[in-house]
Chain A
Amino acid sequence: MYKAARAKALLMSLIILMTALLSACTTNGGGAGNGSPAATGTAEAGGGVTATAANTDQAGGAPASDSGLKGVVDGLPVPSLAGKTIGISVIGTQDNNDRQAYQGQIDRIKELGGTVIAADGERNDQKAIADIENLITQKPDAIIKHLGDTKVFANALEKVKAANIPLFTIDHPSEFSITNHMSDNYYIGSSLARHMFEDIDGEGKVAVFNGFYGVQACRIRYDQMKYVAKDYPKVEFIEPELQDVIPGTIEDARKKIQDLLVKYPKKGDLKAVWACWDIPQIGAAQAIDAAGRSDIKVYGVDAEPAALDLVADPKSSFTLDVAQEPYKLGQAAVDTAARYLAGEKIPKTVYLEPFIVTKDNVEEIRKKLTAGGS
């Protein structure tokens, strides 16, 4: 009997624990991981209280009231999202870039007085597809999809369209999306390539990570790099190209570059390493720095904090990075959705300006990014 009582107690305590955990975190609402308690509080009360209160008196039955806020890209007024629910599906929250875009969307929806339903794909495409299906079920007023391979998500996004839910995307072109938001990747790709080819005096071997050509941002940057390379005929690309992987990107890239260093042991044999994003380049720079191969230069995109640390280190091979403003990108997508829902005309694509980060201006850019982001 004693054992049975103990088992019963165990069962009861487990049930209590589970209920406590579930209710503890659901009161959190919006899905903002590092959001401040104050922000969460306003979300519970129905979103940006001050913003909606300011314009309810002037709205007076008009279909779309002005939120009193200005668009993050163009500075023009943005309609309120009061009473609207926006579903957001991000590809993951592992990288700084992803987290910023995620947070930017969540914060902006709340500022505009709307309700957020957030889903994190955990960098697992199957999960991200399920997320989109689950968002559709909840019939939000709009869905914003962030990143991912265009073809992999085609079936899921077709379902969004079939459900008549307006779809907006970030770094993800799709025939089913009304507006795509991205950094000016054409500029990122060509300027990164020009800097790289100039830095190596227009000749020598370059190693390229090209594991994600299906992701639009990577495709544009890669194609732009190859386009610029046409005018640097003495640059030679190492074949086969390296393949960056997710997850375990940094570790995997470090090993691949270590292998490459063994293959090209002489100084000057290998001049530069290119990738369309920072994560593999962090591993690449680590491998190169550890081997003392100061003759090799590393180039990446995204301004991941760890990558900027390397750029800031005068001894590191990480030479140049391109910073995007993912937080602002997230905000911009919400602005577009708000305008569309208010019946305004919106563009097919919204571009954001990127910044080149060098060893000279890295601290300055870092300050700028911190001010604009979280």
Chain B
Amino acid sequence: MNPQIRKNQPVGVLSSFIFKYSGYLIFILVALYFAARSPAFLTLQNVKNILLQSSALGIIACGMTAIIVGGGSHVVRGGIDLSLANNMALNAAVTSFMVASGYPVWVAIGTALAASILVGAINAFSVVKLGFIPLLGTLSMMYILQGVQLLITKNTVISISDPFLKAVANGALFGIPVAVWMFAVSGAAVYLLFHRTVLGNWMYAAGGNPDAARAAGIPVHFVVALTYIIGSITAAAASLIIVSRLSGTVPGVGDLMLLDVLLAGLMSAIFSRLAQPNIAGTVLSALFVGMLSNGFTLINVPTYWVFAIKGVLILGAVSITTTQQRKVMRHV
């Protein structure tokens, strides 16, 4: 991304290579390990499974990354949306409730999308106009959304069956599952927006140094608000996959996903030489999380080990990134 940084590094060629590509290396090492242990891992069907199982997480994690980019990655003051996973769950609840109540599926999906965007807009308003710390503003929104979901679902499973949703769940186009297409299209759209347009540069500028960005004439408020709206749209798209796969909605579906979403968003930095959150990295992180779950089942790791190993792998990835980040900071 920034060539002079590379030139200035006085460290060994091999170690700097390893650090620059640490994320990819770990990804490939883990994949090779699974492939060596299970002949089923690299089959076409299994690769499709990993993509399918990572789709919802990947889409919504792109939204989380967008918000982190626009708001800056400072742990406390930076951009974050803790309500994002519950926004998705709200969307799932609204869709399921309306379809179960007899509304056409398109009306249900449209209403749910509007509800999600409204939530995103309220988050944007509270962060940009009222100046809330995103961590707190969106945390309160998360609780509100949990409450609203309870009101809608009565905390029960809402089961629906609809030909369109069934097609999203089990259907395929050119041999590739519909959900994976949705993942590919939304991932590509957010990637292009962030890494190939002026608006994308503005978002990085607003997150990196808002004062400098403002001085350069970038409408920082508008840009930050936009990231929350983008996030809410990804939540709606992910919800469509979830509702299809679960044939409705189940209680707690948002809470269960929140940490994975945050993880994929923040871990995206390990797939970047500058250790910055980015969209391609987010897609890879989501695939990494999906691949771990899938691989552990395939190589028959006792379930009691899975969390510990997941934690160690992620710790490894993050410690490498942190070291890398420090190196980059020294040379900037």
Q: Of B104-112, B187-195, B304-312, which binds chain A? A: B304-312
Choose from B37, B293, B315, B323 the contact partner of A130 (Cβ within 8 Å): B293
* Nearest CB on A from B307, distance (A): 9
Interface residues in B1-46 (C-beta closer than 8 Å to A): 10-12, 15-16, 18-19, 22, 29, 33, 37-38, 40, 43, 45-46
Question: Interface code A143-168, partner B: CB below 8 Å = 1, 0 otherwise?
Answer: 00000010110111011000000000
Q: How far is the CA of A17 from the CA of B56 in the complex (A)?
A: 31
Choose from B22, B45, B154, B323 the contact partner of A243 (Cβ within 8 Å): B154
Q: Are the CB atoms of A137 and B46 closer together than 8 Å?
A: yes
Q: Are the CB atoms of A243 and B309 closer together than 8 Å?
A: no
Choose from B247, B298, B312 the contact partner of A17 (Cβ within 8 Å): B312
**A12's closest neighbor in chain B, by CB?**
B18
Q: Are the CB atoms of A117 and B297 closer together than 8 Å?
A: yes
Choose from A7, A15, A22, A152 the contact partner of B246 (Cβ within 8 Å): A152
Q: Are the CB atoms of A1 and B250 closer together than 8 Å?
A: no
A374 contacts B by Cβ under 8 Å: no
Interface residues in B258-310 (C-beta closer than 8 Å to A): 290, 293-294, 297-306, 308-309
B161 contacts A by Cβ under 8 Å: yes
* Nearest CB on A from B327, distance (A): 8
Question: Interface code B97-122, partner A: CB below 8 Å = 1, 0 otherwise?
Answer: 00000000000000000000000000
Q: Are the CB atoms of A214 and B40 closer together than 8 Å?
A: no
Report if A15-B29 is in contact (Cβ < 8 Å); known contacts: A25-B309, A149-B157. Answer: yes
What residues of B have a CB within 8 angstroms of the CB of A25 in the complex? 301-302, 305, 309
A211 contacts B by Cβ under 8 Å: yes
Q: Are the CB atoms of B298 and A126 closer together than 8 Å?
A: no
B253 contacts A by Cβ under 8 Å: yes
Q: How far is the CA of A120 from the CA of B29 in the complex (A)?
A: 25
Report if A155-B166 is in contact (Cβ < 8 Å); known contacts: A17-B312, A28-B302, A119-B297. Answer: yes
Report if A14-B319 is in contact (Cβ < 8 Å); known contacts: A127-B293, A131-B297, A152-B250. Answer: yes
Question: Interface code A172-192, partner B: CB below 8 Å = 1, 0 otherwise?
Answer: 000000000000000000000
Q: How far is the CA of A248 from the CA of B298 in the complex (A)?
A: 30
What residues of B have a CB within 8 angstroms of the CB of A30 in the complex? 300, 302
Q: Are the CB atoms of A22 and B303 closer together than 8 Å?
A: no
A29 contacts B by Cβ under 8 Å: yes
Which of B16, B157, B251, B300 has the most A CB atoms < 10 Å from its CB?
B300
Interface residues in A1-59 (C-beta closer than 8 Å to B): 1, 3-4, 7-8, 10-11, 14-15, 17-19, 21-22, 25-26, 28-33
Report if A14-B320 is in contact (Cβ < 8 Å); known contacts: A134-B297, A158-B170. Answer: yes
What residues of B have a CB within 8 angstroms of the CB of A211 in the complex? 155-156, 251
B91 contacts A by Cβ under 8 Å: no
Choose from A152, A154, A240 the contact partner of B157 (Cβ within 8 Å): A152
Q: How far is the CA of A15 from the CA of B252 in the complex (A)?
A: 35
Q: Are the CB atoms of A243 and B293 closer together than 8 Å?
A: no
Interface residues in A83-140 (C-beta closer than 8 Å to B): 93, 116-120, 122, 124-127, 129-131, 133-139
Interface residues in B158-210 (C-beta closer than 8 Å to A): 159, 161, 166, 169-170
**A3's closest neighbor in chain B, by CB?**
B11
A245 contacts B by Cβ under 8 Å: yes
A61 contacts B by Cβ under 8 Å: no
What residues of B have a CB within 8 angstroms of the CB of A29 in the complex? 300
* Nearest CB on A from B329, distance (A): 13
B137 contacts A by Cβ under 8 Å: no
Choose from A136, A158, A243 the contact partner of B155 (Cβ within 8 Å): A243
B256 contacts A by Cβ under 8 Å: yes
Q: Are the CB atoms of A26 and B37 closer together than 8 Å?
A: yes
What residues of A have a CB within 8 angstroms of the CB of B147 in the complex? none
Q: Are the CB atoms of A4 and B246 closer together than 8 Å?
A: no
Q: Are the CB atoms of B157 and A17 closer together than 8 Å?
A: no
Report if A152-B298 is in contact (Cβ < 8 Å); known contacts: A7-B323, A17-B312, A138-B40. Answer: no
Report if A155-B247 is in contact (Cβ < 8 Å); known contacts: A11-B22, A14-B320, A214-B159. Answer: yes
**A252's closest neighbor in chain B, by CB?**
B155
Q: How far is the CA of A279 from the CA of B300 in the complex (A)?
A: 29
Q: Are the CB atoms of A118 and B319 closer together than 8 Å?
A: no
What residues of A have a CB within 8 angstroms of the CB of B221 in the complex? none
Which of B157, B256, B290 has the most A CB atoms < 10 Å from its CB?
B157
What residues of B have a CB within 8 angstroms of the CB of A136 in the complex? 45
Q: Are the CB atoms of A129 and B251 closer together than 8 Å?
A: no
Q: Are the CB atoms of A18 and B312 closer together than 8 Å?
A: yes
Q: How far is the CA of A261 from the CA of B312 in the complex (A)?
A: 45
* Nearest CB on B from A184, distance (A): 24
Q: How far is the CA of A137 from the CA of B41 in the complex (A)?
A: 9
A213 contacts B by Cβ under 8 Å: yes
B316 contacts A by Cβ under 8 Å: yes
What residues of B have a CB within 8 angstroms of the CB of A126 in the complex? 56, 242, 245-246, 253, 256-257
Q: How far is the CA of A7 from the CA of B257 in the complex (A)?
A: 33
Q: Are the CB atoms of B298 and A134 closer together than 8 Å?
A: yes
**A34's closest neighbor in chain B, by CB?**
B304
A246 contacts B by Cβ under 8 Å: yes
**A93's closest neighbor in chain B, by CB?**
B303
Q: Are the CB atoms of B159 and A246 closer together than 8 Å?
A: no
Residues in chain B within 8 A of chain A (CB atoms): 10-12, 15-16, 18-19, 22, 29, 33, 37-38, 40, 43, 45-46, 49, 52-53, 56, 154-157, 159, 161, 166, 169-170, 242, 244-248, 250-253, 256-257, 290, 293-294, 297-306, 308-309, 312-313, 315-316, 319-320, 323, 327
30 contacts between A and B (CB under 8 A): A10-B323, A11-B18, A14-B315, A15-B316, A18-B312, A19-B33, A21-B308, A28-B301, A31-B300, A93-B303, A118-B300, A119-B303, A126-B246, A130-B53, A130-B290, A131-B297, A133-B53, A134-B46, A134-B49, A137-B45, A137-B46, A137-B49, A151-B247, A152-B159, A152-B248, A154-B161, A158-B170, A240-B154, A243-B155, A245-B251
Residues in chain A within 8 A of chain B (CB atoms): 1, 3-4, 7-8, 10-11, 14-15, 17-19, 21-22, 25-26, 28-33, 93, 116-120, 122, 124-127, 129-131, 133-139, 149, 151-152, 154-156, 158-159, 211-214, 240, 243, 245-247
Given contacts A7-B327, A18-B313, A118-B303, 7 further A-B contacts (CB under 8 A): A32-B302, A130-B53, A137-B43, A149-B157, A149-B159, A214-B156, A245-B155
